[in-house]
């Protein structure tokens, strides 16, 4: 009796559920979702990413630390392993090349002014690009 009741209730509820139709969202639902997804993607591609990640920095420091500890514990000293000849790097010889090189005071002033302008340009360009970046960030 109980199972027959259950079957009848099952049939009744099935009938009820089949009568309540599957609903549909608004017609532009997919485009709304897609515009959100695409703007999210753009944001992701614009967002600041450091050239060297934190993980990479950690690995670099770890490698340096390991190298320094290795140097300390193996007792490495400058006298024991200097097989490479660094004599070719001689500052005095390099400076000799420029000994005959002379600039007029006017050229010096022009060069100085040029350098100052380059530095100013860097500052202006940086603030300009920063502002543009912020604007784009707001749009997305």
Partner 1 sequence: MDKLNDQHFINLVIGGDTRAFAVLVDRYKNMVFTLSLKMLQSDQEAEESAQDTFVKVYKSLEKFKSESKFSTWLYKVTYNTCLDRLKSKKRNISHVSVDDFEEKDVISLTNVLDTIESRERKQIIQKCLDLLQPEDRFLLTLYYFQENSLKEISKIMGINENNLKIKLYRTRIKIAGILKRKLEPQLINQYENER
Going residue by residue from 37 to 56, which x/- string records binding to partner 1, judged by CB under 8 A? xx-xx---------------
Q: How far is the CB of 44 from partner 1 (least distance, A)?
A: 10
Other CB atoms closer than 10 Å to residue 78's CB: what's the count? Answer: 6
DSSP string across 64-118: HHHHHHHHHHHT--TTTT--S--TT--HHHHHHHTTT----HHHHHHHHHHHHHH
Q: How far is the CB of 121 from partner 1 (least distance, A)?
A: 37
Q: How far is the CB of 54 from partner 1 (least distance, A)?
A: 21
- Per CB under 8 A, which region of 35-43, 57-65, 101-109, 124-132 contacts partner 1? 35-43
Per the structure block, which two tokens stand in for 19? Answer: 């009568």
Going residue by residue from 55 to 94, which x/- string records binding to partner 1, judged by CB under 8 A? ----------------------------------------
Do 136 and 46 meet the contact criterion of CB atoms below 8 Å apart? yes
């Amino acid at each position: 009796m109980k199972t027959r009741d259950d079957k009848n209730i099952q049939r009744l509820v099935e009938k009820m559920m089949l009568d309540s139709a599957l609903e549909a969202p608004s017609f532009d639902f997919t485009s709304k979702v897609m515009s959100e997804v695409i703007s999210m993607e753009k944001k992701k591609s614009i967002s600041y990413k450091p050239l060297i990640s934190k993980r990479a920095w950690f690995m670099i420091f770890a490698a340096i630390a390991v190298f320094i500890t290795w140097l300390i514990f193996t007792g490495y000293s400058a006298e024991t392993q200097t097989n490479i000849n660094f004599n070719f790097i001689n500052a005095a010889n390099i400076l000799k090349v420029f000994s005959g090189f002379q600039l007029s005071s006017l050229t010096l002033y022009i060069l100085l002014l040029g350098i100052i302008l380059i530095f100013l340009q860097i500052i202006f360009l940086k603030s300009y690009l920063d502002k543009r970046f912020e604007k784009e960030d707001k749009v997305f």
